[in-house]
Amino acid sequence: MTKSPTMDDAPYLSGLNPAQREAVETINDPVLVLAGAGTGKTRVLTTRLAHILQTGHAFPGEILAVTFTNKAAQEMKERVSHLMGGAPVEGWWLGTFHALATRMLRRHAELVGLGSNFTIIDPDDQARLLKQLMESAGIDHKKWAPRAMAAMIDRFKDRGRRPTDLSADEGGEAAGGKLVALYAQYQSRLKTLNACDFGDLLLHMITILRDPQNADLLAEYRRRFRYILVDEYQDTNVAQYMWLRLLAQGNGRNGENNICCVGDDDQSIYGWRGAEVGNILKFETDFPGAKIIRLEENYRSTAHILSAANGVIGHNADRLGKNLFTDGDQGEKLIVRGLWDGEAEARWIGEEIEQLQHRGWSLDRIAVLVRAGFQTREFEERFIQLGLAYKVIGGPRFYERMEIRDALAYLRVTAQPVDDLALERIINLPRRGIGDATVQTLYAYARNKGISLHSAIHELCETDEMRPKVRETLLRLAGDFARWRSLIPTMKHTELASMILDESGYSAMWQASKDADAPGRLENLKELVAAMDEFESLPAFLEHIALVMESRDDQYQASISIMTLHGAKGLEFDAVFLPGWEEGLFPSQRSMDENGLRGLEEERRLAYVGITRARQRAFISFAANRRMYGNWINAVPSRFVDELPKDHIETQSDSGLYGAGRSAHWDSSGVQAAQRRADNHDRRTINAHGETLSRGDRVNHDKFGDGTIIHIDSHKLDIAFDRGGKKRVMDSFVSKID
């Protein structure tokens, strides 16, 4: 392990603590920077990049820097430029996994049977394509939802597995036992459409780089990327890990593995979407001789908050280990409050926020972080009653709105005529008299001939297979797209987009609509066209939309942020409220049932993330009773409550709660007794179908329909049915809904 030549007088090194400086100056060979919450991770990353460039270790084009969001990539670029005196940093490979893989794949698409102008389809198109294939294969898409099948295929891709890497039975019973075959058909159809989904971007590049026939290409990339830097390494999935390992083997000038990964194993909370905490835990095994540098000095939170977080996460066994500390104030102890029910919890949090507001705290500095989405309703209602402004973070994003998807479909077909999924979406929008039967005829012909829907229109319209009026309409639409496409090289793309929306009749459709939402939809379409002006061309804009969908929040009014714990990662607030710390809710019973100890440890990491979002104050609460799915359930405090170190918390409770007596404080022994009673209670059962059923599971009953298990007593289940209310049934009469 070597350090770079010293530059003690370099201004960008001033102010770094010893651990940060070591992470910046340890240049060659593999380095893992374990960056705890609030320890200056971004500063270390950007300073390290600037240091590599300033010391002449590499040119910008010899650096591969990987982030998880487009926003982080842009911020990194701006910070490095600032550290280098404002000099522009051009030519380097900086971006998200998907963006960088796309850049590579467009250069080598022919090696996996694609054209360089391939389309990147979104999850909506992915589900629609799978539905078509399922219908063709006779698979019941009502029983096996296309979106669920798409999610399972995505998981295969997250693990770097192609259809040929799987045995026929690895899909289990999904799609009637035909999931692997469906996956293969899906990949074949994507190739015909000259399209990829998100998972393909990395999967195709892994396929290319692992092929012995492309050994020279892999060697070329290894020579090119002298230094590799990766942010948020704890969130990488298997495919991302495989891609990085391929590029980092012997990429240094002297054959060393010059890869620096920055992450925090204690903040790995995305296992449900494919993230593998094991990637960061086995870094030393993957890269022998690796150096681990721990960033533990926190610049965000008070000492009490950090000690509480350390106390909870210390109960996890599967971690590399570190201990956050601060030279700042002790601050106030965490408040841990027990309440009778969820409504009382919402009232208490509302009152505490009002008290903070009266003391001069801005609502922008306050957040309520929930474990499950259903928890937000009571807080929203309470805040409305109190007149407290709030915003729920994580709602529908701009580019996911219906009118925006429609407009993007028009633009996609204009740019890429073989984009069947986009064409199908708007072929009869606005209505043109092209019915489902016509579309099915076109699709059947396209599949049989192995051609695109666009080509099928031209070929079938030369015959008498369809009515003259339908042929005329289809040819007119195809002619419009051809004319718009011919204008791409000469017309400004924003003007072209406005022309397409006007001439297609799409804007007129909403102008004529009596729908109350129509004016807003028209404004959104205008905003879409305005957003395009930031990009140099229509293809560049479409690629950006495919890779990045970021919400734009209204920042005009100071307001409380309500969001899930998962959504809060990377954010910070002066005061954080953490409600719902109850067994079964947090930690999630479903997570523990499905993933055992691994699931519990990820839930505990989520608790750690929640606590460390707080700069000055943290409030944790739990309720003895909670209304879920229309029914009241008894609850006991989360085991995480008992794991909080007693010297750093102040406990409060409604009178009589868990043996609290008249005092507003409860004895932890009362909580522990309640937990033991719950642990002795039968929480799960196995039905006649061999399915393990737990409280909170969604199930189906032939007579009563879908519902949620709220209580288990041996083989008897209390279920809150969506339409029939609460009923008690035997477990053999229900089946689990996946």
Which CATH number goes with the domain that contains 135?
Answer: 1.10.10.160
Domain, as residue range, for 724? 684-736
Using CA atoms, how far residue 560 sits from 339, 356, 525, 557, 569, in Å, is: 22, 12, 29, 10, 17
DSSP strand pairing (259-263 vs 725-730): unpaired
Catalytic annotation present for 211: no
Does residue 614 lie in a domain region? yes
State yes or no: is 273 an active-site residue.
Answer: no
The answer on 214 and 176 residing in a single domain is: no
Rounded CA separation 645/647 (Å): 6
Residues 220 and 171 both lie in one domain: no
- Beta strands 560-564 and 390-392: pairing type? parallel
Domain finish residue from 295, 320, 337? 295
282 phi/psi in degrees, rounded to 5: -105, 20
DSSP string of 235-273?
A: G--HHHHHHHHHHHTT-STTS---EEEEE-GGG---GGG
CA angle 375, 340, 614 (to 5 degrees): 50
Give the integer Cα–Cα distance in Å for 717 and 729: 5
As a whole number of angstroms, the distance between CA 665 and CA 655 comes to 8
Please name which of 562, 561, 551 lies closest in space to residue 377, comparing C-alpha atoms: 562
Residues 285 and 329 in one domain: no
Phi and psi dihedrals of 698, rounded to 5?
Answer: -90, 130
Question: Global pTM?
Answer: 0.72
Can you give the pLDDT at residue 672?
54
Nearest Cα to Cα of residue 322 among 295, 289, 285: 295
As a whole number of angstroms, the distance between CA 156 and CA 144 comes to: 17
Question: Could you give the count of Cα atoms lying within 13 Å of 395 in the half-sphere of its Cβ?
Answer: 11
Give me the pLDDT at residue 2, please.
53
Residue 696: inside a domain: yes
Are 563 and 449 contained in the same domain?
no
Catalytic option among 161, 613, 617, 639: 613
391 and 503 part of one domain: no
DSSP structure class, residue 167: -
Annotated active-site residue in 21, 41, 333, 569: 41
CA nearest 470: which of 431, 517, 522? 431
Residue 74 appears among annotated catalytic residues: no
Q: Single out the residue in 168, 193, 218 at which a domain terminates.
A: 193
Annotated catalytic, 231? yes
How far apart are alpha carbons 97 and 244 in whole angstroms? Answer: 10
**In 184-209, which positions are buried (b, 16+ CB within 10 angstroms) versus exposed (e)?**
ebbbebbebbbbbbbbbbbbbbbbbb
Kindly report the backbone phi and psi dihedral angles of residue 651, in degrees, each rounded to the nearest multiple of 5, phi listed first.
-100, 140
Residues 637, 702: one domain? Answer: no
Please identify which of the residues 232, 266, 345, 352 carries the catalytic annotation: 232
Where the chain has pLDDT below 70, the residues are 1-9, 86-89, 251-252, 254-256, 395-398, 514-516, 548-556, 627-632, 656, 658-683, 688, 714, 724
Q: Is residue 111 part of a domain?
A: no
Q: What is the predicted pLDDT for the residue at 553?
A: 43
Residue with tokens 């505990």, as numbered in its chain: 604
CB 335 within 8 A of CB 619: yes
Yes or no: say if 227 and 64 are a contact pair by the CB < 8 Å rule.
yes
Q: What is the dihedral of CA 29, 35, 40, 43, to 10 degrees?
A: 30
The b/e string for 540-558 (b: 16+ C-beta within 10 A; e otherwise) is ebbbbbbbbeeeeeeeeee
pLDDT value of residue 92: 81
155 is catalytic: no
**The pLDDT of residue 586:** 93
Q: How far apart are CA 240 and CA 244, in angstroms?
A: 6
Q: Domain holding 35: CATH number?
A: 3.40.50.300
Strand 631-634 relative to strand 560-564: parallel, antiparallel, unpaired?
unpaired
**Residue 210 lies inside a defined structural domain of this protein:** yes
Catalytic residue among 231, 235, 420, 583: 231
pLDDT at 202: 96
Contact 229, 31 (CB under 8 A): no
Q: Is residue 402 part of a domain?
A: yes
Q: Are residues 98 and 230 in the same domain?
A: yes
Same domain, 421 and 490: yes
Domain boundary among 276, 295, 314: 295
Residues 542 and 417 in one domain: yes
Same domain, 62 and 148: no
Residues in the chain: 738
Distance between CA atoms of 36 and 612, rounded to whole angstroms? 10
What total of structural domains would you count in the chain? 5
Query: Which pLDDT value is given to residue 437?
Result: 81
- Spatial CB neighbours of 631, under 8 Å, sequence gap ≥ 6: 710, 720, 726
Burial 499-534 (b: 16+ CB within 10 A, else e): ebbeebebbebbeeeeeeeeeebbebbeebbebbee
Q: Is residue 199 part of a domain?
A: no
Q: Which of these is catalytic: 26, 187, 267, 438? A: 267
Question: Residue 625, SS3?
Answer: strand
Asked whether the beta carbons of 439 and 433 are under 8 A apart, the reply is: no
Report which residue type is found at 111: L
Residue 1: inside a domain: no
Q: Residue 518: give its domain's CATH number.
A: 1.10.486.10
Q: Are residues 488 and 632 in the same domain?
A: no
What distance lies between CA 274 and its chain's CA centroid? 10
**C-alpha 709 chain-centroid distance:** 28
| pLDDT number for residue 468 | 82
Q: Strand pairing of 366-370 and 573-578?
A: parallel
Asked if residue 5 is part of any domain, the answer here is: no
Angle between helices 41-54 and 18-25 (to 10 degrees): 40
CATH of the domain at 728: 2.30.30
Residue 41 is a catalytic residue: yes
223 and 161, same domain (yes or no)? no
